[in-house]
Structure 1
Amino acid sequence: MITLSCRLLRAACIAAVFVTVGPLPATHAGPLPDTPSQASPATRKSPGPADAAPARNPGTGASPTPSPGTRATTATPSPGTRATTATPDPGPRATTTPSPGSGATAAAGSTGPADGAAAPSPLPAGAAPSDGVTARPGPAQSVGALLAQLQGLYRQAEEATEAFNATEVALKAGQDEERRLGSELGKARTALGAEKAAAGRMAREQYEHSVGLSPYARMLLTGDARAALDQRRLAAREGARRAGVLARLTRNVHRADLLAAAARKSLDARQTLTAQRKLHKQQVDLKLKQVEGMLASLSAEQLARLGEREAADTATAQRELLGSGRLATTPRTPTAAGGAALTYATEQIGKPYVWGAEGPGSFDCSGLTSQAWAHAGRSIPRTSQEQWAQLPRVPLDELRPGDLVVYFPTATHVALYVGDGKVIQAPRPGAKVKVSPIAANPLLGAVRPDPDGTPLTEFTAPALPATASTEGGDAGYSSEGAPAAAPADDETSAR
């Protein structure tokens, strides 16, 4: 009985081991996992076509049966096949080693591509993927890229400058409004104090005369009817006066409250604008430093080539504009105000561009145009965006001297038309007021500050200096012509 139980127990153990291990596939080469308990779950997969059945003993046809108590299982090789002996698992993953001359690799627990998927071929040494690879720019391309980058920085600096100018205008208007509200609030409080004093006197009088008969009772009891009527009329007038005092007091209280609220709102707006002005100034400083750093990093040869490339681009744009017929070819005369604005702008040629400046010693682009028309007796908006937005538009083929030419899609640059396809402008930081071709920058359109003006029958244009077209740095570039830093807050607020 004991012997039978031992045999049954042994048979059960052998069956459990066989079920756990399963039939061992015949592989082309390489070690297999050691024991069932250490094998990776990924090794227990269905055999492929080449490994459809385990090796069998040709003599008996029996499958190899693992002997209990052993850790290695040896499969009896079939004729013509190589024997595979299981060896201990060297690590958590077991990968078969391909036999010499065989291209097949059987991976157990591998994380690579699935069966039948081709692995990506490695790139040759020193090679890079083709996507996104561009050729190294040649000399002409590199100059064009440098010019575009530099012009972009100048344009961004000018955009920040015009934003600063707009904030300055709003801040100045807010300060004027704040002063006006303060003055009105002071007057309202003075009137309110007077009305409060009158109301106090009225209350005291009413209290002092509250003892005794009413005016109506006195009129009935008096022996003089005329005197009683006169007294009644006086009482009615006094009542109306008191009612007026109360009404004025109520109105003045309400007005003082409204003015106080408006003054607080104006103060909050001024503080917000002051913060915005500081932010715009920081943006201008940043862009000017970037321009300065870029100019300082370029060689003299690169700077010269930049100037040549820009001059060639401007000449090409001017030829195309003149050839398109968009620009007026017939000379026109300005109005009296337009002629005065042109004369003033001509007198400023050679003065430096300084961001946010309105003269008299320096200008930015919109500072020059707004001051030119102010000296002609007509007030126009301060910034180029507002000049473009508020002044009447005029076609390019109807331009006359004194009109304003606006540039870039966001209207961040403006110049004053001279005639003959030329403008006077304050070009950019580091440059000076000068005469330039009208196509020196991308055109947006033109506006006319005096649309109701009558052109002069005769006009003698002011004489331009001999260096009018070469003043300033936009005819070329140099590291010495780098833009100056933005002025401090106290300097800008003093303007």
Structure 2
Amino acid sequence: MLVVPGTAAAAPTPEPTPSAPSASGPASNSGPATTAELEIVRIQLDDLYHDAAVATDAYNAAEELADRQSAEIVDLAGQIVAGEEKLAELKAQAGAAARAQYRTGGLPPEAQLMLSDDPRQFLDGAGRILQGERATDKTLAELEQIQDDLELYAKDASAGWEKLEANRKAKDKAKKEITEQIAAAEQLESQLEQDEKERLAELERQAAARAQTAWVDTGILDEINETNETDETSGIAGGTTTAGEQAVAWAKDQLGKAYEWGAEGPDTFDCSGLTSEAWAAAGTPIPRTSQEQWRQLTRVDVADMRPGDLIVYNSDASHVAMYVGDGSMVHSPRPGRTVTIAGAGSMPILGVVRPGA
């Protein structure tokens, strides 16, 4: 389960060749873990939590789909009930017509009129016969249509149940994968002593700082700030919208709340739960998962990024955060962490999307 991915980053000072973490601890010796060994642990934890994030997105997508499928089945059930009620009504009308014909001795209406001695009664009756025939034809046509509709609704409902069941299995599989990945990460962290955990946390901060510095050194932040300043002074489309400001303010209000996979608040969030709820609070519903946010929302250049835009990370769009300005973003990072503000370039950026564009 704990396979060392690639070559560990070099330590600041020469260190002995590290061993992979084992069930008995992070190193093969009994002393404190070296920096290089802790770096291996950091990389492994990144991989485990990344895989958990991918599975979380799959779980969230399956849950969202299940909600839609359930609503469709409920709607179909309502149409079936209404159709059966209409069918019973039409059958009652047809039965009444049959009974009326039986009471007249089975004679067709035309024959009854021919035997009438009253011409006026004959003419009045002719009109009623025509109306009756039209009504009967309409009733029969409706009866046939309702029966066809009921058959179609029943087939759709049956197919809907099959899809719902398949989706339930997919959700259960994703849930199992999430649980396994998080359990593996927690087991790995549990092997560390408290001082090693603190050193590991410092290595995580250093890695994020290096990535942020490299991102800023490309000059991209200057471009972003210049774009935002130009938009604000010129009033052209592209400046931060009121909805964007509201989304940012709402997301910042969640700072310190714990990460929980599949959570959309109010007390815990996963990454896309935070961003989707923030924009919902601003009056702009967006897709639930980071992958669907990346797929469905309008993409903008990183240089044109403004507060409220969503930054999608990793090549598989497995993480998402909200840009808040000044090269920073707010996000719900991973299990064991809380909603926090971090450098926008502290993780590999896939791209930027803009809700409500």
After TM superposition, is the score higher than 0.5? yes
Distance 2:208 2:286 in 1: 29
Residue 329 of structure 1: aligned partner? 225
1:266 matched to 2:172? The reply is no
Alignment partner for residue 123 of structure 2, among 194, 206, 229? 229
Distance 1:432 1:225 in 2: 92
Q: Which has the larger radius of gyration?
A: 1
Alignment partner for residue 187 of structure 2, among 285, 288, 293? 293
C-alpha distance 211-352 of structure 1, shift in aligned 2 (>3 A): closer
Alignment partner for residue 175 of structure 1, among 67, 70, 76? 70
CA drift of 1:440 comes to 2.0
Secondary structure at the counterpart of residue 164 of structure 2: helix
CA drift of 1:137 comes to 4.0
Aligned partner letter, 1:279: K
Deviations 1:400-436 (A, max 9, x none): 1110001011111100110011000001001000100
Deviations 1:256-304 (A, max 9, x none): 1111222222222222222222222111111111011000112344433
Residue 136 of structure 1: aligned partner? 17
Aligned partner letter, 1:263: A
**Preserved CA contact (<8 Å) 2:216 2:345:** no
1:156 matched to 2:62? The reply is no
Distance 1:151 1:301 in 2: 20
Aligned partner letter, 1:382: R
Residue 143 of structure 2: aligned partner? 249
Distance 1:195 1:204 in 2: 14
Secondary structure at the counterpart of residue 431 of structure 1: coil
Secondary structure at the counterpart of residue 258 of structure 2: coil
CA drift of 1:244 comes to 1.1
CA drift of 1:237 comes to 1.4
Alignment partner for residue 97 of structure 2, among 202, 219, 234? 202
Distance 1:311 1:154 in 2: 16
Aligned partner letter, 2:244: G
Unaligned runs of 5+ in 2: 1-7, 9-15, 20-33, 230-238
Secondary structure at the counterpart of residue 440 of structure 1: coil
Unaligned runs of 5+ in 1: 1-133, 452-495
1:186 matched to 2:81? The reply is yes
Deviations 1:351-409 (A, max 9, x none): 11111111111111000000000110110001101100000001111111110001011
Distance 1:269 1:211 in 2: 52
Residue 263 of structure 2: aligned partner? 357
CA drift of 1:245 comes to 1.0
CA drift of 1:306 comes to 2.5
CA drift of 1:136 comes to 3.4
Residue 447 of structure 1: aligned partner? 353
Alignment partner for residue 240 of structure 1, among 129, 134, 152? 134
Distance 2:183 2:115 in 1: 96
Q: TM-score, normalised by structure 2?
A: 0.83
More helix by share: 2
Note the aligned Cα RMSD (angstroms). Answer: 2.1
Distance 2:47 2:215 in 1: 22
CA drift of 1:158 comes to 1.1
Residue 169 of structure 2: aligned partner? 275
C-alpha distance 324-233 of structure 1, shift in aligned 2 (>3 A): same
CA drift of 1:155 comes to 0.6
Residue 244 of structure 2: aligned partner? 338
